[in-house]
Amino acid sequence: MKASRDIKDQVLADKGRLSIKEISRKYNFSRSEVKSIIQASQRKPPKWFYAVLVSLPIILLVLLEVSLRIVNYGYNFDQWKDIGEGKYTLNPDIGKKYFTDSKFAPSTGEDEFDIHKKANAFRVFVLGESSAEGFPYSPMGSFSRYIRRRLELVYPKTPIEVVNLGMTAISSYTLLDLLPGVLDQKPDLILIYTGHNEYYGALGVGSVQSFGSSSALIRLMLYLNSFRTTQLVRNSFHWVFSLFSSRNNSDAGTLMSNMAKDKYILLNSKLFNEGVEQFRENMTDILMLARNRGVPVILGRLVSNLKDQKPFISVSTPGYQTADQVYQEAENALAGNRFAEADSLFKLAKDLDALRFRAPEEMNKIIDDLGSEFHDPVVPIDSIFDAESPDGIVGDNLIIDHLHPNVEGYKLVGKAFYDCMEKAGYLPEAEKPEIPFDEQDSLTRANFMFTKLDSIMGNDGITILKENWPYVKTSKVMSNFHQRDFVDLLHPRDFIDSIAMYKIEGRITWTDAHLLAAAAYLRMNDIKDYLRHINILLYQYPALKDYNTLITYFYYRNKIDMSDYTSERVGIIQLYRGKYDDAVKYLTEALNSNPKDPAVLYHLSQAYLKEKDFKSALEIIERCLILKPNYPGANDLRRQIMNTLK
């Protein structure tokens, strides 16, 4: 007897409460028929059913990921960006990968290098946090720029590439994530200066930008963050969360103040020890990866402001006096000329500071231990800073805030790393140094690419930083600043101060700041200072190749008024640049327009002298002296010309 589907369903419904014998009687089935119906219901689906069941969600996720990429949703987290001319630079969006909320994402450097490394090139990567980046004087004031400039001067025939990957507010997780991509670029050397951000930096144990303390989970999330689907889910979560949260404190304060979640982290507490172990584990993996690829590494011990930075948060710590009490004892020891005791007490006061913006001494111990374990050189930057400081204890003399070096400090860090490179034999081998080693530092400092504008922009940034927590308990956060506030704080005195203030306000970029300064000097006929800023831009953007390309590039971006480039100014510019043929051409053109301009005559005579046309040079300078007998430098120039004619 063939059972209908309805009767089969009734049989199956009864099987849990009736026996097979009772079911057969109820529906007038044989026992074998009842068993057959029950067994058929228990039969497993075919294998293809499970294959479809498993693969369908995967297919849907792949389709969603592909669709999001097609519509360009989210960010591309490829490590390198092709900027043309066969050059790579760090992807400017990569910082967003490490921050759960995009408003915290740091900017990245723009150091470029060849996609295909030249056979004789010397390539160095610098890894670290804001101190490696060069804050607040980046990009020009970083220690990596000292190293690059010194290498360029000492090895002029070797293509030098020093690529700074330092970023503000990151932790060692970011370095570990970036390292495989760095190793793929065939570096000759990696320099690492890191360790201050293991608590409040991105993914640190006490940071608002964290996935917890599980290393495996954090590394998994960093992998998943590269997918647009993950970004969609994350952004959707933040959008929903924002609907139920206050908007008043969404982006108030500096990055420094916003990153600190668990603000109180006591010495030797559970969270303190988790930060130490996080650093040890990540740095071990970093050095292991580099060793496996045969790439040498130099580590730097950490330095911070000991003498002139009081503890931010002083609380009771089991087994110790408070941080403030220890700091006071350190000052007393210093006043009594007990320098070794004072140094130890200042370090202990720093370690007892419950606000962990400065790395504890345990981080330096880990750096020393790992250097010994992996046979990687360790640069004693803290000891070097102490040796250059009054009383042998570093303070405001080399540190501009709580841990970032000033410009002199960054040069000192660069020199320390370079000296270690020389001692370890990690300098270019294809070319012999053209400058004796003991002359290299002074020459590098004399040719360091840094301007007054860069210095003021950095100092102004620190002024603003110190108007916020934790330097002041109640602060007027940057997001609430008005132009009058900036003026009252920064006190601009001249146009360079004003340009720096515009940059700090966020109204212009670093590039625009230098262009504005260059344009101002040009209009004042101060060609030397004009070229100083133009050369800074060329140094920062070497892909622009030369002066003419730079001017054309920024002209088409409406950043430069070409009407400022008169024949006289262009002639003087070319004279300073060593383009003497062009200088004669443009200055002659200017002289034809204004034959009684002594400045044109003076510079044209200089151009002829450089061209070794002594007769024309003498004729022109004498015309200048007839028009203005006391024109600055004219009489000296005439004597110089006459001496060459003898």
CB distance 162 to 111 below 8 Å: yes
Work out the end-to-end distance of the chain between its first and last CA atoms, rounded to an integer number of angstroms.
132
* Residue 569 scores a pLDDT above 70: yes
* Residue 255 scores a pLDDT above 80: no
Is residue 471 domain-resident?
yes
CB distance 94 to 79 below 8 Å: yes
Is residue 162 domain-resident?
yes
Same domain? 510 vs 613: yes
Same domain? 120 vs 196: yes
* Residue 157 scores a pLDDT above 60: yes
Those residues whose C-beta lies under 8 Å from the C-beta of residue 605, and which sit 6 or more positions away, are 617, 618, 620, 621, 624, 637, 641
Residue ranges making up the domain that contains 118: 80-239+262-304+358-426
Q: What is the per-residue pLDDT for 34? A: 67
Lateral strand order in the sheet of 122-128: 160-164, 122-128, 189-193, 297-300, 378-379
Is residue 142 domain-resident?
yes
CA distances from 116 to 91, 182, 204, 546 (A): 17, 14, 35, 22
Same domain? 272 vs 130: yes
Same domain? 203 vs 280: yes
402 pLDDT tier (thresholds 50, 70, 90): very high
State the Cα–Cα distance between residues 63 and 332, nearest whole angstrom: 68
* Residue 107 scores a pLDDT above 80: yes
Same domain? 90 vs 221: yes
Same domain? 497 vs 386: no
Same domain? 289 vs 388: yes
Same domain? 94 vs 16: no
CATH code (residue 112): 3.40.50.1110
Is residue 637 domain-resident?
yes
Instruction: Say which residue, 17 or 640, is predicted with more confidence.
Output: 640
- What radius of gyration do the chain's Cα atoms show? 34
The four Cα atoms 347, 351, 354, 359 give a dihedral, to 10 degrees, of 100
Give the pLDDT confidence of 416-466 residue by residue, as tens digits.
999 999 999 999 998 999 899 999 999 999 999 999 999 999 999 999 899
Q: What is the per-residue pLDDT for 49? A: 63
Same domain? 269 vs 140: yes
CATH code (residue 596): 1.25.40.10
Is residue 333 domain-resident?
no
Instruction: Say which residue, 267 or 479, is predicted with more confidence.
Output: 267
Q: What is the mean pLDDT of residues 240-250?
A: 59
Same domain? 536 vs 591: yes
**Nearest Cα residue to 320 out of 342, 351, 361, 344:** 351
44 pLDDT tier (thresholds 50, 70, 90): low
Is residue 633 domain-resident?
yes
Q: What is the mean pLDDT of residues 125-150?
A: 97
Amino acid identity of residue 325, one-letter, is Q
Strand segments (E) across 259-315:
297-300
Q: What is the mean pLDDT of residues 191-199?
A: 96
Percent of the chain whose pLDDT exceeds 90? 65
Give the pLDDT confidence of 211-233 residue by residue, as tens digits.
666 788 888 888 888 888 888 88
398 pLDDT tier (thresholds 50, 70, 90): very high
Is residue 353 domain-resident?
no
How many domains does one find in the chain? 3
The count of other CB atoms within 10 Å of the CB of residue 371 is 18
Same domain? 159 vs 292: yes
545 pLDDT tier (thresholds 50, 70, 90): confident
9 pLDDT tier (thresholds 50, 70, 90): low
pLDDT, mean over the chain: 88
Q: What is the mean pLDDT of residues 174-203?
A: 96
Is residue 567 domain-resident?
yes
Give the pLDDT confidence of 300-350 residue by residue, as tens digits.
999 999 999 999 999 999 999 999 999 999 999 999 999 999 999 999 999
Same domain? 86 vs 234: yes
